[in-house]
Structure 1
């Protein structure tokens, strides 16, 4: 029992540390955005550090993910053949994700739900530094977030291939995903959590994180078009 508690504690600490690494990297973009108008030189320095950090995190996350799959992988996650049938399924999941967002936006437009509190901050950042914020949101965030909330999360805490592990894994990973997008518990948290649940089900269905990254990429790309 003591060995199990120690192992789980180490996994929790590891997950938090990996999350902090990602948050520090995104904070570098936020700092660059703040200085974009007042001090372009300073903004460029933060962007340089951000790009170097992105490369380092990508190598670290890829290595850790592959290592954990080699050590403990009862769900048989890994690279699966990319087939026409799987691509059709991915497109259908993207349509479902769009429908969730359309329904949510309609509820906001009809004043049945509040406007997301983080939306104003996101739009302000994009206006100040549009290219880099859009690039980060579309290309970088999907990769890191899928490694964190699907890749590492399931193998750290819900690796057993049974119904209860699957149910709680999807539920908890979605809630954490939702909370970290709002940094407060609100109705909007459920919106982001629903997207997180869909992404978790995608990971469990395809058993290949590349499909998750692609779906997340398409969703974020759609949001800026």
Structure 2
């Protein structure tokens, strides 16, 4: 019964974190609509404050879960070292080249993009710098907490080789499904990206490094 409440509670926290994150996205992706709907004064300031609160709250939830179960030894000090930074760099090159190869294979010479990417392209065309802040920084920060940190705090919690690789595949698929819920051919691309990010997290045992990999990859498409 205790295990049931552990899983149920953590899944509920993941869902809550995802809902909060998607609500924050509205302020970045649809600022004009937010202004028309709520008439918020000093909207840029309010967005900045909300961002700090949401990011801080999600990271607090993540660390709270780690205090309950942490067989992997996640988030232990010291947080920074050259070896793990190198793993994050390797992860960036893996995610870049494997993503490009997988996209080429599923496209078979075509030039179409996933519905998720098409929506992001439309938002980028009519948006301000807020879009770049969300995609390049806030999004990767929140998504790594939810899809890597909270996921492995709930599932595959025992530090075994089997759990590592099955967990990487499962976590990668969840990441892919959220980005391509219609399960098109592009879900394979997102699956590869999610698996690489999961590998970086489990290898470094620190979310900061998968965040760096994720942010660096997202920023390629922005500049």
TM-score of the two chains, using structure 1 as the length reference: 0.86
Structure 2 residue runs of 5 or longer lacking an equivalent are none
Whether contact under 8 Å (1:28, 1:49) holds in the other structure is no
Which digits, 9 at most, give the CA deviation of each residue in 1:7-38, with x for residues without a partner? 322222121111111111112323315579xx
Aligned residue for 1:55?
A: 52
Pick closer, same or farther for the CA change 1:87–1:59 going to 2, 3 Å: closer
Aligned residue for 1:7?
A: 6
Counterparts of 1:224 and 1:43, CA distance in 2: 28
Aligned residue for 1:70?
A: 67
Shift of 1:164: 3.2
Aligned residue for 2:220?
A: 222
1:118 counterpart SS class: helix
Structure 1 residue runs of 5 or longer lacking an equivalent are none
TM-score of the two chains, using structure 2 as the length reference: 0.87
174, 184, 187: which one pairs with 1:186?
Answer: 184
Shift of 1:114: 5.1
Q: CA RMSD in A?
A: 2.5
Counterparts of 1:70 and 1:183, CA distance in 2: 32
Indicate whether 1:203 and 2:201 are aligned.
Answer: yes
**Number of aligned residue pairs:** 220
Shift of 1:47: 4.6
Pick closer, same or farther for the CA change 1:35–1:72 going to 2, 3 Å: closer
Aligned residue for 1:23?
A: 22
Pick closer, same or farther for the CA change 1:88–1:15 going to 2, 3 Å: closer
Shift of 1:139: 1.0
Counterparts of 2:145 and 2:103, CA distance in 1: 28
Which digits, 9 at most, give the CA deviation of each residue in 1:135-155, with x for residues without a partner? 111010111011111111101
